[in-house]
A and B are shown apart, each in its own frame.
Chain A
Amino acid sequence: MSQRDPTDSEESAGQFFFEKSDASAVYSEAEVVEPTLAAETEIEGEAAALFPIPIVPGPITLAKRPVSGRYNGTLGTFQLELRVDIDRTRPMNRLSGDFFQVSGGTTSYVGSFIVNTPTITVTTTQVVARGLGVYTFSAGAPVVEVTIPRRTVLQAQAPATVRFFTTGGAAGATYTCAFVSMYFRTVRLEIDRTSNITTPVFNSYNTGALPSGGAARSLSVVAAYGEAGIEMMPTGASDVVNVSEAGANTSWSDAELHASMQRHFSLWRDLPQWAVWLLVAQNHDLGGGLYGIMFDQQGKQRQGCAVFHYGIGGTTADKQRLQLYTYVHELGHCFNLLHSWQKSYATPPVPNRPSALSWMNYPWNYPGGGAATFWARFAFQFDNEEIIHLRHAFRNNIVMGGSDFAVGAGLGREVLADPVRDESGLMFNISTHKKSFALGEPVVLELALSSTQPKGRRVHTWLHPNCGMVKVVIQKPSGAVVAYDPLIDHLVGDRDGMVSIGDVIHDSAYIGFGKGGLYFDQPGNYLVRAVYAALDGSQAMSDIIRVRVRYPVTAAEEELADLFMGEDQGTLLALLGSDSEALDSGNAAFDEVLAKYPKHAMANYVRLMRGFNAGRAFKTVIEENENRLMVRAPKLEESEKLLAAAAESGVLDPVTTRQTLTALASVQINAGNEKAAALTANKLTAMAIRTV
């Protein structure tokens, strides 16, 4: 979560830099190869009779390698995946890249950039592309300059040097990125089929078999994407999905398709990743007129699609062409491509292109001629704007499981993003014990840390956000994302221990109020995620949980919301009570809660807070007092009564209940009531939770 600016040189001070080499000077000599004396001598033999005119040896110029493709580099904790698109097939004259941050065993996505109109300079020795980038985050050095030495076909691809500059020209970070692939992205593709399809799964189609608008060639799905610069790498897995999973009607609903995807897609995980599933099925519930569907529009979207052979199956040329088209089209939706005539529905919108000769159109909707004209003109390719999206879209707008379908807007720095790699060996879970909260009700997060490694993991046990080792991020109903900032930061020392497999460390934290004020101050759905900073620097991310805050329905709920939702009340809840006069208005509001709504569930939060506060001495610094200190002694009887009521209420989460019982037992011992303390201890023992 402590992300910095990967374009800024300040961020990498003291960290590893690659050496900058004058590669252009090295390779400028290699582009022209002079014939050797040995070669001349050979020609003097038999060849001399065939070529009576004396051969004048001249330089042989070797072709240069194109430089477009994907590059990877590292600078300190940052990784850059760079895409250079200025030559090879259908160059779009763009640069783009994604930044990642490595922390221990976790790699997290930071953000992306694209340079839409770079100035490209090609000399005999190097290619330089430079331009102002558009970023998903506020970049300190947004100008990008990529320099790549030109190499001959006999030499390996040269690395790219990427330099970032401020708009004023000051140097920022420099990355040296090794060439990875001529493809801009690599996606793992798994194609499964259902047990009842009556025609073969599509393999390839000769585009010259029927009239078309492009060169004749054999095209598979993999080859079609390859032409767009996208490497589709088959997983090798190929399940046969029993049609019984579609129910008695043997036709598929979207829900059934989704369930089967989770069951059969060997790479399926509920997070963004470059992996996609295609199911070849016979029928969909919507009937034979549906040729295919990108059905995955719940949770992490766009990870799966299906095609239906009832409408497209067969071995004739037109059916093979239709299968190729449908397979590529549905996978296109998984890359977040909309239909050609629907581009204006994207977020943000772009112009519709109903006449596009693209995989993403409907041939039968083609203006000015319909399907016959479309096929006669179609070159079996995406249009240019789609190619740009496929190669250069911001990562979350294209990666499967990223932004929802049709949503292409960058949401800023991806504070709620999943790690792209997690080898932390830890699992960090958060939850709330209630499905929804009343407006004003304290939102308490339960935190649980466990090991995923059989040998266990050494961990620190500071799970409470107050200790600074766990960060909590909240996305409000408005979409605004805020980091929970605790009211008080605790400076903590070492508190390490082993967490064995099967062992779980728990804590709970009130996150309703902090330095940012009230965090759940309006009804609606909130998303919450927390990240645990491990000893080795790994960032163990929790799942994102949804917290729903209900609209107040009754007059009592309305009044209770008002009584709970004040700065003083939030402070009192965060501090577990206080005698401070500065918080009098909050205490007065809570007095009113207990007086008017003693039987309401929310009154128990007040009892909890008041019980904790009453059980401890409270010191007040007073100007008028000679000693400047007034000590209020613990009110043990009051505390015991309040804590017991709160613990028995069933309103608190299990961890808080345990902490309340612990405090209660302590108060009972201090009050000399050892019998009651023993009974409370028995209740604690029954709650087998390891807390910190």
Chain B
Amino acid sequence: MNLHIKLRDGFRNDTVTMRVNGDEVYHKSGVSTRLAISYADAVDIPIEEPVVTLEVAVQGGPSESAEVRVRRTPFVEVWVQDGVMELRRSDEETPLL
């Protein structure tokens, strides 16, 4: 199964790192939100374990971690608002427009 992660609002030419159970699964510079669709980037990560710890960090900025039950909530959105990061878990993909 896959963990589907979307970076949404609040990114501006940032370097973003994601770790699953401590292993780096994503590292990218120049991440910026496209305001017209409230979207910066997305990544699908193959997961074996039913429960994982997801950590997301913006270099020099906020970070957050959360436990994710991958079968129940395989969709995670990462929002940064007012300097605070929030990981929103969901059982279905949130549309963009």
Residues of chain A whose beta carbon lies under 8 Å from any beta carbon of chain B: 286, 289-295, 297, 311, 326, 329-330, 333, 338-339, 341-342, 345, 362, 364-365, 405-406
Residues of the A chain whose Cβ atoms lie less than 8 Å from the Cβ of B93: 289
* Distance, CA A9 to CA B95, complexed state (A): 55
Residues of the A chain whose Cβ atoms lie less than 8 Å from the Cβ of B35: 338-339, 342, 345, 405-406
Question: Could you name 9 residue pairs across A and B whose Cβ atoms are closer than 8 Å?
Answer: A290-B96, A295-B36, A297-B34, A311-B95, A329-B97, A333-B36, A342-B38, A362-B95, A405-B36
* Distance, CA A326 to CA B96, complexed state (A): 10
Residues of the B chain whose Cβ atoms lie less than 8 Å from the Cβ of A342: 9, 35, 38
**Is B95 within 8 A of A290, CB to CB?**
yes
* Distance, CA A83 to CA B96, complexed state (A): 34
* Distance, CA A286 to CA B4, complexed state (A): 13
* Distance, CA A293 to CA B42, complexed state (A): 16
**Is A290 within 8 A of B94, CB to CB?**
no
* B34 → A minimal CB distance (Å): 8
Residues of the B chain whose Cβ atoms lie less than 8 Å from the Cβ of A362: 38, 94-95, 97
Nearest chain-B residue to A329 (Cβ)?
Answer: B97
Flag B27-67 by CB within 8 Å of A: 1 or 0 each.
00000001111110010000000000000000000000000
Residues of the B chain whose Cβ atoms lie less than 8 Å from the Cβ of A289: 93-96
Residues of the A chain whose Cβ atoms lie less than 8 Å from the Cβ of B34: 297
Nearest chain-B residue to A354 (Cβ)?
Answer: B81
Residues of the B chain whose Cβ atoms lie less than 8 Å from the Cβ of A365: 94
Flag B60-82 by CB within 8 Å of A: 1 or 0 each.
00000000000000000000000
Residues of the A chain whose Cβ atoms lie less than 8 Å from the Cβ of B38: 339, 342, 362
The count of chain B contact residues (Cβ–Cβ below 8 Å) is 13
* A398 → B minimal CB distance (Å): 15
* Distance, CA A291 to CA B39, complexed state (A): 13
Q: A342-B38, A405-B36 are in contact. Are A293 and B9 (CB under 8 A)?
A: no
**Is B97 within 8 A of A293, CB to CB?**
yes
**Is A286 within 8 A of B97, CB to CB?**
no
* A622 → B minimal CB distance (Å): 61
**Is B36 within 8 A of A294, CB to CB?**
yes
* Distance, CA A326 to CA B95, complexed state (A): 11
* B60 → A minimal CB distance (Å): 20
* B90 → A minimal CB distance (Å): 9
Residues of the A chain whose Cβ atoms lie less than 8 Å from the Cβ of B97: 290-293, 326, 329-330, 362
* Distance, CA A365 to CA B37, complexed state (A): 13
Q: List 19 additional A-B contacts (Cβ < 8 Å) besides A291-B96, A311-B95.
A: A289-B94, A289-B95, A289-B96, A290-B37, A290-B95, A290-B97, A293-B37, A293-B96, A295-B36, A326-B97, A338-B35, A339-B35, A342-B35, A342-B38, A362-B95, A362-B97, A364-B95, A365-B94, A406-B35
Nearest chain-B residue to A290 (Cβ)?
Answer: B96
Residues of the A chain whose Cβ atoms lie less than 8 Å from the Cβ of B37: 286, 290, 293
* Distance, CA A326 to CA B36, complexed state (A): 13
Q: Looking at the complex, which one of A291, A295, A345 makes contact with B95 (CB distance below 8 Å)?
A: A291
Residues of the B chain whose Cβ atoms lie less than 8 Å from the Cβ of A291: 95-97
* B11 → A minimal CB distance (Å): 12
* A92 → B minimal CB distance (Å): 25
**Is B36 within 8 A of A297, CB to CB?**
yes
In order of increasing CB-CB distance, the 6 nearest A-B pairs are A291-B97, A292-B97, A294-B36, A289-B93, A290-B96, A291-B95
Residues of the A chain whose Cβ atoms lie less than 8 Å from the Cβ of B95: 289-291, 311, 362, 364
* A204 → B minimal CB distance (Å): 20
* A338 → B minimal CB distance (Å): 6
Residues of the A chain whose Cβ atoms lie less than 8 Å from the Cβ of B42: 286
Residues of the B chain whose Cβ atoms lie less than 8 Å from the Cβ of A293: 36-37, 96-97
* B85 → A minimal CB distance (Å): 16
* Distance, CA A330 to CA B36, complexed state (A): 9
Residues of the A chain whose Cβ atoms lie less than 8 Å from the Cβ of B36: 293-295, 297, 333, 405
* B44 → A minimal CB distance (Å): 10
Nearest chain-A residue to B10 (Cβ)?
Answer: A345
* Distance, CA A263 to CA B38, complexed state (A): 28
Residues of the B chain whose Cβ atoms lie less than 8 Å from the Cβ of A286: 37, 39, 42, 96
Query: Counting chain A CB atoms within 10 Å of each CB, which of B36, B94, B96, B97 scores highest?
Result: B97
* Distance, CA A294 to CA B38, complexed state (A): 11
Residues of the B chain whose Cβ atoms lie less than 8 Å from the Cβ of A364: 94-95
* B38 → A minimal CB distance (Å): 6
* B31 → A minimal CB distance (Å): 15
* Distance, CA A652 to CA B97, complexed state (A): 50
* Distance, CA A220 to CA B34, complexed state (A): 28
* B50 → A minimal CB distance (Å): 24
Nearest chain-A residue to B36 (Cβ)?
Answer: A294
Residues of the B chain whose Cβ atoms lie less than 8 Å from the Cβ of A297: 34, 36
* Distance, CA A365 to CA B79, complexed state (A): 12
Nearest chain-A residue to B34 (Cβ)?
Answer: A297
* Distance, CA A242 to CA B95, complexed state (A): 26
* Distance, CA A342 to CA B96, complexed state (A): 14
